[in-house]
Amino acid sequence: MADHFLQLDGVSVKLGAQQVLDNINLTILPGQHWAITGESGSGKTVLAHTLAGRHFYSGHINASFGTPETYHHQIIIVEQQHRFKDLTNRSDFYYQQRFNSFDAEQTATVGQLLADYITPDNQQAADRWIAQLQIGELLQEPVIQLSNGENKRLQLTIALLQHPQLLVLDNPFVGLDVNGRAILHDILGTISQTGIHLLLITTPEQLSPCITHVATLEKGVLTGAVAVADYVAPKAVSLSLPIEEAFRAMGDMQDTDFTTAIRMKNVSIQYEGKHILQDVHWAVQRGDRWCVSGANGAGKSTLLSLITGDNPQAYANEIYLFDRRRGSGESIWDIKRKTGYVSPEMHLYFDYTAACYHAIASGLFDTIGLFRQLTPEQDELVHRWISLMGLEKKAHHGLSRLSAGEQRLTLLARALIKHPALLILDEPCQGLDAAHTQLFRNLVDAICAHSPTTLVYVSHYREEIPSCVDKFLTLDKGRATITG
């Protein structure tokens, strides 16, 4: 019997000319469950993808459960971003489809997706995992309409039905509410007792009780590998933000000639008889700073979609944006021109072939992609934001070559570049490490302190909410409670 479960000996990976992993040496013994931590862009996801056979590498990887040519087939990754195909085998979704009932009907249901992975041989195991992960009640739901927590449980079920020896979860707690995180910790504990080994890419704050060892990556180098009892989380790094430079990068605020940014009167949304929002009354005045919160599936994304112009049911409700009622002649572009927006859905469905530079520049025109020549002034503005977000070396890399944190920084810059009158930030710090989260929080506070920006901020983490926020809307099963 092998004395190791998985062993990496001098593993290095280059993507293009960039050295992403450098001489990684790591031994995982039978029965151990590891977490990998590190700053955004440190190489954590690349390491996971290398284990799964997705990148060429130098050095050696030896596994007790297969040959060098076959072991990676038994390593399954649950990605941070989940992509799937519709019933016509297309995967090129646009994020508005989640709110369009016809398009939702064209995507597979949970049951249809699971059917591809269930066989007579694994039916008993499938029944057990479907019950354990609380999937049974979701079998008839279109996958595109699942909440973040529901989608995470579905992806876990699919992964487990493939009988992995090593199950890798890339930032599994991102986007989950408090209850969702507790449920996932329990699920991982159950999985760890079945003989499946776990490898979690996560933060020091989210180490599941089943984790036995922690490895730390820093700029592609393994700087620590210890038992969890000996692990000491690194001290928080403070990233300074030159406020004057930030405001030069913002440019002039656009379209401030309004009194009320958002007004909803008795707004109700339902799909196939299921109430998503019920009798919501809400007014956001120019310069207000709001936090919107609620459990996964409470209706937050649907609420925001009525504001951003992405939900056709806005026209069936009494909704006013920038003092004009929806459906009174304004175009979706009139709305988007005044609004900066980032969300998990936009991140998921954004064009991953776009270069970092082009993605940021597209925010000037509210398009997914850049389709026109920039003026010298606009080009300078884009480069200011690239510098501010620390993305100089990644400016011309496609988003697919950036870490999840770097992708999120790119989309945050895209939302801010035109200095919008209304800034909607839905879980903006997903995928960011603690230092970049604090940097972004400080930036939002500075923007709101020095300009009449109207802010709507969504987060499951109280510590991520900017200090400028003083009004709160909480959703519970589609009903809104307002404080502040």
pLDDT tens across 303-318, in order? 998 998 778 888 889 9
Report the alpha-carbon distance of residue 467 to residue 288 in Å, rounded. Answer: 13
CA distances from 53 to 57, 61, 197, 296 (A): 9, 10, 17, 33
pLDDT tens across 2-13, in order? 588 999 999 999
Neighbours of 229 (CB within 10 A): 8
pLDDT tens across 259-288, in order? 999 999 999 998 777 889 999 999 999 999
Report the alpha-carbon distance of residue 55 to residue 50 in Å, rounded. Answer: 5
pLDDT tens across 411-456, in order? 989 998 988 999 999 999 887 888 888 888 888 898 888 888 999 9
pLDDT at 96: 45
CA 20 to chain centroid, in Å, comes to 22
Residue 81 has pLDDT above 90, yes or no: no
Unique residue bearing structure tokens 């003026």 = 375
Nearest Cα neighbor of 82 from 345, 294, 310 is 345
Whole-model pTM: value is 0.83
Count the alpha carbons within 13 Å of 293 in the hemisphere toward its beta carbon: 17
pLDDT tens across 450-474, in order? 888 999 999 988 889 999 999 999 9
Region of 371 on the Ramachandran plot (φ > 0 left; ψ -120 to 50 alpha; else beta): alpha
Nearest Cα neighbor of 280 from 261, 302, 295, 259 is 302
What is the mean predicted confidence (pLDDT) over 42-47? 93
Residue 86 has pLDDT above 60, yes or no: no
pLDDT tens across 219-245, in order? 999 999 999 999 998 887 776 666 666
Specify burial of residue 102 (Cβ count, 10 A radius: 0-12, 13-18, 19+).
exposed
pLDDT at 243: 62
**List of domains in the chain:** 6-230 (3.40.50.300), 243-483 (3.40.50.300)
The set of residues, in sequence order, having a beta carbon less than 8 Å from that of 139 and lying 6+ positions away, is: 109, 110, 111, 114
pLDDT tens across 133-168, in order? 889 999 998 887 787 778 888 999 999 999 999 999
